[in-house]
Amino acid sequence: MVEQFQENIKVELNNNANVYKWETEKKIPGRSERDSVDIFGQTLGKPNWIIEIDATRSDQVSQKLLSRTALWGIKDPIQYVAILYPDAHKKGKSACEKYLRYGNEIIHKINKDSSIVGIFVDPDNDSVEVLQFNERCHFKVNGKECKNMNEAAAEALKLYLSKHCVSYAKLKKCWGKYVNNTVGSSRYKNIRVKTSDGIPVYSYTQFRKYGFCSYWNEFERICKKKKISIIKMKKIYKGIKGVPFVYEV
């Protein structure tokens, strides 16, 4: 099924009106390595496209990212697309997403014109989720877009304080290490909001980028308990009765 899927993608891309030539199982010329790209797109004067199709196994995803970056992405820009379907245990998606984000940071540092896109295919609910890691806005807090994790955390606290008139002691009890009242602490930033007893609130700022660390996961759980929605933005395509549509969350 995967081999047929790979062939169908190649045929579809070659039939589209684009200037690229698309091949399957492409090996880099002049090297002894046997690593081959599932689907490879190439044309003069534009970045090469690398499309890999795999199950959501983070070990395979990270190995391929390292291999393709080393072989194709050191001297020239690459557009890397990982098409992933659920593995046998239907786990590993979050870990794959993490390594794709890490990989995007690395190849973008190597060449500013390189990037990675993650496409998660889920046949069970007829959906395709597309993650483009170079987008500036990654979060929404109750529908409001935020550029980064720090801004999202500050917005969540502002939203909570706008609905709950509490003292600093009660706020600290609810949110723990994610709030502070120490002026000048490098790990906290003044959110320009005060508690009911007049104490300025400083929010935590040292989350790991893109939201993959225990601190951020815990913060999300607290927000959920407080009925504050914090979500990472992504595009999800779903099919209903054969008619595709797209919505963004």
pLDDT in tens, 135-155: 555 788 998 888 788 899 999
Cross-sheet strand order for the sheet of 139-141:
144-146, 139-141, 230-232
Task: Supply the pLDDT for residue 135.
Answer: 58
Contacts with 227 (C-beta within 8 Å, 6 or more apart), sequence order = none
Does 110 have pLDDT greater than 60? yes
Task: Check pLDDT > 70 for residue 234.
Answer: no
Q: What's the chain's average pLDDT?
A: 86
pTM over the 0.85 mark: no
Pull the structure tokens for residue 189: 């930033």
What distance in Å separates the CA atoms of residue 139 and residue 148, rounded to the nearest whole number?
Answer: 7
**Chain CA centroid to CA 67, Å:** 20
pLDDT, greater one: 29 or 50 = 50
Q: Give pLDDT, residue 186.
A: 83
Q: What is the CATH number that goes with domain 2-132? A: 3.40.1350
Give the count of alpha carbons within 13 A of 127, CB side only.
Answer: 12
Q: What was the pLDDT predicted at 42?
A: 93
The whole-number average pLDDT for the span 207-227 is 82
| pLDDT score, position 241 | 47
